[in-house]
Amino acid sequence: MSAYVDGQRIMTRDDIVFDGKPAEMRVGVHADGNKDTLYLYELTVSTAGNVAAEASPDSAPAPEPAATGNGTFTGRLLDHETENAVAGAGIILCLDTGSSCTTDAALSAQAGSEGEFEIADIPPGKYVILYNPNGIDAQFTDKILVEVNSRSADCLGSGFAGSVPADCEGSIPFMDDPKLMLKGDSRIEITESAFSVIDGSVYSQKYGLHLDFNDSKPLSVEIEAGEAVEDDLLIWAEQ
């Protein structure tokens, strides 16, 4: 006897006796009682000898396809002290490699009258957020290498306190700006072994960019494939 699935012959056996009863994972029964199996299918024998296949109810569902494409980042830029909208403020994303980040003028935006902004078509990754309350000139802020990493808060704190440890090389953002400033109500924590910027904003006059720290971590956003992230950001409205 031959068995068919979707018009295709799957076996030809003379020693199989089909009992006509659909059973999970069973094609037929040998005369000696042994079973032939076809995994993930239940089979029903038609009078014409063809076999119709149905998906097993116990088969695992197909996995969800992985998300693809770039992401979007939207939100509002608000004054850190008053939480009012900062119209016209500029924001630019800086792709984080773990040891530094590099700005991309294509990933920047100017805030509208209500402080709203949108940056679209962002490749997946982690980005450090830089801004200027008076707007950003993309021509002068593209492809800037910013040395910011997990050591930056401690190294900046030590630098503003008057002494930069030798192992801080490569960990101080805007190191080439002699007029680097600590803005607003920035807070430096002093311990027995180190100084650290806990919360606050570092401003580079050379590049016209602010870099904020929250809990000693640079302000950042994680973009996943096909994801839309929305977040309101508190920024320092004064240069």
- Range list for CATH 2.60.40.10 in the chain: 71-235
CATH 1.10.1530.10 fits 71-235, yes or no: no
Whole-prediction pTM value? 0.72
First to last CA, the chain: 87
In angstroms, rounded to a whole number, what is the distance separating the alpha carbons of residues 120 and 49? 59
- Sort strands 101-110 and 90-96 into parallel, antiparallel or unpaired: antiparallel
- Residues 6 or more apart in contact with residue 12 via CB below 8 angstroms: 1, 2, 3
pLDDT for the residue 204: 96
Q: Output the CA angle 149-198-212, nearest 5 degrees.
A: 60
Name the stretches of the chain with pLDDT < 70.
1-60, 62, 64-66, 184, 239
pLDDT tens digits, 140-150: 899 999 999 99
- Residues 6 or more apart in contact with residue 113 via CB below 8 angstroms: 85, 87
pLDDT for the residue 106: 96
Nearest to 197 by CA among 151, 163, 165: 151
pLDDT for the residue 53: 46
Please check whether residue 230 is in contact with residue 215, taking contact to mean a CB–CB distance below 8 angstroms: no
Going by the DSSP 8-state scheme, the letter that residue 193 receives in this structure is S
Encoding tokens for residue 23?
């059973």
